[in-house]
Amino acid sequence: MQMILADEDRLRLVASSKASVLECSLLGSLKDFLPFSDGGRVIMLGPLLSLTEQHHAAEAAGHLARLMTLDAVWTSYLQEHEQVSGSEMPVLRQLTDSMDELLGEIEVHAQRLREIVTQQPNVVEEIHGRLVGGDGLNDAQKRRWQALADKNGGIVAFATEALDTIVRETPRERDTIRNKMKILEGGGHVPGDLSYECGVAVGMAIGFGIGGFWPGAFAMAAVAGAACAG
């Protein structure tokens, strides 16, 4: 059964940080992705990674997923409304504050994930192999993902640079959304959207892969293929 969620439901559910909710909201139907697991059990990377590393990777991917969802609500609202009503301004302020706080946490999580990527290159190569060798991406998506890795010096260098971008640009992103909120509260209008969707998508693909959540890894590799193409 296909699962369709309204924006407010996605926001509420992803905020709960449950992988199964993210799976449903991103992909719609879990049963379509069971071929990437062993009898319905997600494939883990086993003894290659410590529990601490898997935990850090899962936290990073979960925080990035929540940021992507909050940004989608923020961006779509600002695209559809030239003026923010008085009743919705406090909600928009709360949304902005949530993104600001989350960005501060993501800076730390992205740095931890970067350390795992650089310290465990074989794991990242294995994730890449499963992404391009499995059935979770169509041929065009596989070519785009592979081309990004090749263009950027290999998958480890590509993932490292993507996470470096998040760490480097996050303080600027926080300043940007704070300034945008001031403009909105002053009666002006600004566009939404984060500036580093590519890094977020790559970080989620690698983080989900390390955590063994392959439906999410495949989905975000497909997103990265489009987001990083520009």
Mean pLDDT of the chain: 83
How does pLDDT run across 29-64, given as a tens digit for each residue? 333 333 344 333 445 554 578 899 999 999 999 999
Sign of the four-CA dihedral 225, 219, 110, 79 = positive
How does pLDDT run across 108-159, given as a tens digit for each residue? 999 999 999 999 999 999 999 999 999 999 999 999 999 999 999 999 999 9
Domain boundaries, the chain: 42-227
Tokens encoding 84: 């923010």
Tally of CB atoms within 10 A around 26: 19
Closest CA to 94 of 207, 187, 11: 11
pLDDT score of 195 = 84
Closest CA to 157 of 181, 121, 185: 121
pLDDT score of 196 = 87
Tally of CB atoms within 10 A around 210: 29
* Whole-prediction pTM: 0.80
Instruction: HSE, CB side, 13 Å, CA atoms: give it for residue 137.
Output: 28
